[in-house]
Amino acid sequence: MLNVLGSAKRLCDGLTRRDMLQAGGLGMLGLSLEQYLRLQSVQAETGPGGSFGRAKSCILLYLYGSPSQLELADLKPEAPVEIRGELGGIPSSLPGLDVCELMPNAAKIMDRMTVVRSVTHPHPIHGVAFALTGIPTIEVSMELSPRHPAHHPYMGSVVDYLDRQQRSGLAQAVPRHVAMPFPFSSQREGEVPRAGLNAAFLGGAYDPVWTEFQGQATSSIFKKLGARERDVFDPYMGITPDSRLSISAATEMPAELSLDRLDRRRSLLTQFDEARRRQDAIVASSGYDRFREMAYGLISSPAVSTALDVARETPQMRDLYGMTLFGQCSLAARRLVEAGSKFVTVVWDEYGLAGMGWDTHWNHYERMRRELMPGFERALYGLITDLDQRGMLDETLVLVLSEHGRTPQINKAGGGGRDHWSKCYSVLMAGGGVKRGNIVGRSDRIAGEVADRPVSPKDILATAYHCLGIDPETILYDRTNRPLKLVDAEVIPEILA
C-alpha cells in the first residue's frame, strides 16, 4: 500500500492535517465525497489569509533553457553596458517595477502578479527535474535519464495522483493533467530526452497526457549547434490559424487494448474497485486505470477535442494570446481548466536543434527580439487578462518557471550571449492564493547575487502546493517503501494573498 502522510497540524475540528492527507491517500477510509469536500473546506480556512486551497487548478508556463532575469523583470539600468546589455526598460502597471522594453503587453498585467527576484540554487545545469520536483539534488546524467529510479514525481503528476485518490479514482471527461504542445524534448535533433516531466515512482499512469502539434510554422530563424546549422521554421514564432492540437499517440491506450475489450472488463473491474484502491501502488504501476480512463474519457467523449479546439474561439480572442504555438497552447490551457483539468503545463521547448528554447548562449539579442520575447509576452498577457476577465484568475494558479537564470556578464560568443546562472534569478506567479502587485526579494546591483530574501525553487513548489490545497510535507512512499516528502521546503508567506 502507498501511504500518504503529512505534518501534524491540528485543525479547528480536532482533525490533524495528517489525518486528512492519510484519509485521502487510502481511498478516504470509507469517507464519502461529500465528507471529504467538507474536510477540505475546513482545512482551506486554516492557511495564511485563507490562501490554502484557493487555487482549484494550475497552469504552468515553463520556459526551457531559462530566460535572463536582466531582460525579464529585474533590470539594472545603472549597471555597466556589459551587464545591462542592449535592451532598456519600460514602466509596468506595478509601481516601481520596470520590465524589458520587449514586453509592452505584459507590462499592463504586472499589477496582477507576484515577481520573485531572489530565487537561488547551486545547480547551473538544465535541471528541469530539480526545478519541478522534490528531488533534493540533480546532476547531468540524471537529467538525461528520465526514468532514473532516483527521480521524484513531477508536480503535475503529484496533483493528478492526490486528486484521483481523494476522489476514489473517479474518472472525468478531461484528464486532470495535460501537457503541451508535444512530448517534452521530442522535437530536438540528435539528443536524448530530458527528465523532469513524468511521474517517476508514482508510475506511468500519472505521467502527463501529452498533446501533439499538427500545423505549419509561418516564420524561420537561423539555428546552430556545433557544426549543425540551418534555417528552421519554428512554430513558437508563428503558426497558421488552422494549426491544431490533438492527444499524442504517446499517451493513448495500447492498440491491443480495444474499447470492446475494455467494455468486457468493465463490469469485472468495478467488482474489484475496493480492492484496487487498497492496491493503489500496483495499479499506478500497471497503468490499467489510466488506459480505461483515457479510453472512455478521451476517445468516447468529445470533451478533450473540444477543449483543445481553439478554433472555436473568436479571432479576437485568439489574437489576444498571439498566433504562435505558445500563445495558442496557453489559450488551450485556459479552455482545459475551464473544462475541468486540474493541472496544465505549457512548455516552450527546444525545436529543431538542441541548445535552443531560452538557452541563449549566442545571438542573445536577436533571438530575444525575433524568436522568444514576442510570443512569450503576448501569451502571458493574453492568459492573465482572459482569466481575470472571466473571473477565473482568483482560482487558477499561474506559474512562470524555468531551471535557472543567465549570467549578468554578456559573453563574447557570436552576437553576444548569456550563459547558465543559478545564483540569482526571477520567477513570476499569479492567481489562486497569490498576492497581486507584489515583489518578493531583491538582487544585487548586477542581478548576480541575492541581496535580500533568498528563495529556493523548492520553496516556490511548496508555495504552489499550498495554494492548491496540498500540504508540501505530505509523504509518499517510493518503490522501495522509503518515505519521501513532496518537497523539503517552506511556504513563502510574502507571496500569499
pLDDT (tens digit per residue) in 399-438? 999 999 999 999 999 889 999 999 999 999 999 999 999 9
CA distances from 458 to 403, 428, 462, 473 (A): 11, 15, 6, 12
Q: What whole-number percentage of the chain has pLDDT above 70? A: 78
- HEC string of 416-428? CECCEECCCEEEE
Q: Average pLDDT, whole number, for the chain?
A: 84
3-class SS of residue 402: coil
Q: Are strands 177-180 and 209-214 parallel, antiparallel or unpaired?
A: parallel
Q: Is the pLDDT of residue 15 over 80?
A: no
Phi, psi for 82 (deg, rounded to 5): -70, -10
With b meaning 16 or more CB within 10 Å and e meaning fewer, what string describes 76-114? beebeeebbbebebeebebeebbbbbbbebbbebbebbb
Q: Is the pLDDT of residue 250 over 50?
A: yes
pLDDT for 426-476, tens place per residue?
Answer: 999 999 999 999 999 999 999 999 999 999 999 999 999 999 999 999 999
DSSP string for residues in 411-480: B-STT-B--EE-SSEEEEEESTTBPSSEEE-EE-TTSSSEEE--B-HHHHHHHHHHHTT--TT-EEE-TT
DSSP string for residues in 271-335: HTHHHHHHTHHHHHHH-HHHHHHHIIIIIS-SHHHHHH-GGGS-HHHHHHH-SSHHHHHHHHHHH
pLDDT for 321-333, tens place per residue?
Answer: 999 999 999 999 9
Q: Is the pLDDT of residue 271 over 90?
A: no
The pLDDT of residue 171 is: 64
The pLDDT of residue 193 is: 81
Residues in the chain: 497
Strand order in the sheet with 244-247: 244-247, 209-214, 177-180, 343-348, 57-63, 396-401, 425-430, 113-119, 438-440
Phi, psi for 362 (deg, rounded to 5): -145, 160
The pLDDT of residue 389 is: 98
Enumerate domains of the chain plus CATH numbers.
Answer: 53-470 (3.40.720)
The pLDDT of residue 227 is: 81
pLDDT for 175-199, tens place per residue?
Answer: 999 999 999 999 988 667 889 999 9
Amino acid identity of residue 423, one-letter, is K
The pLDDT of residue 16 is: 44
CA distances from 151 to 141, 157, 187, 378 (A): 12, 13, 23, 34
DSSP string for residues in 340-381: T-SEEEEEE---EESS-TT--SSSHHHIIIIIIHHHHHHHHH
Half-sphere exposure of 344 (CA within 13 A, CB side): 29
Question: Around Cβ 222, how many Cβ atoms within 10 Å?
Answer: 12
Reference 350, options 319, 328, 325; nearest CA is 325
Reference 307, options 245, 389, 386, 216; nearest CA is 245
The pLDDT of residue 249 is: 63
Q: What whole-number percentage of the chain has pLDDT above 90? A: 68
Reference 337, options 174, 206, 209, 489; nearest CA is 174
Better pLDDT: 228 or 252: 228
Q: Is the pLDDT of residue 280 over 80?
A: no
Averaged pLDDT for residues 46-63 = 86
Distance CA(120)–CA(391), nearest Å, equals 33
The pLDDT of residue 188 is: 86
Instruction: Provide the terminal-to-terminal Cα distance of the chain, rounded to the nearest Å.
Output: 37
Residue 192 per-residue DSSP state: P
The pLDDT of residue 234 is: 96
For the record, the C-alpha cell of 125 comes out as 545545469
Distance CA(368)–CA(237), nearest Å, equals 11
The pLDDT of residue 201 is: 95
Q: Are strands 177-180 and 343-348 parallel, antiparallel or unpaired?
A: parallel
pLDDT band at 78 (very low <50, low <70, confident <90, very high): very high
pLDDT band at 491 (very low <50, low <70, confident <90, very high): very high
Cβ neighbors of 385 (< 8 A, separation 6 or more) are 108, 109, 320
For the record, the C-alpha cell of 276 comes out as 484496487
Q: Is the pLDDT of residue 1 over 70?
A: no
Asked if 49 contacts 496 with a C-beta cutoff of 8 angstroms, the reply is: yes
pLDDT band at 224 (very low <50, low <70, confident <90, very high): confident
Residue 153 per-residue DSSP state: P
Averaged pLDDT for residues 97-121 = 98
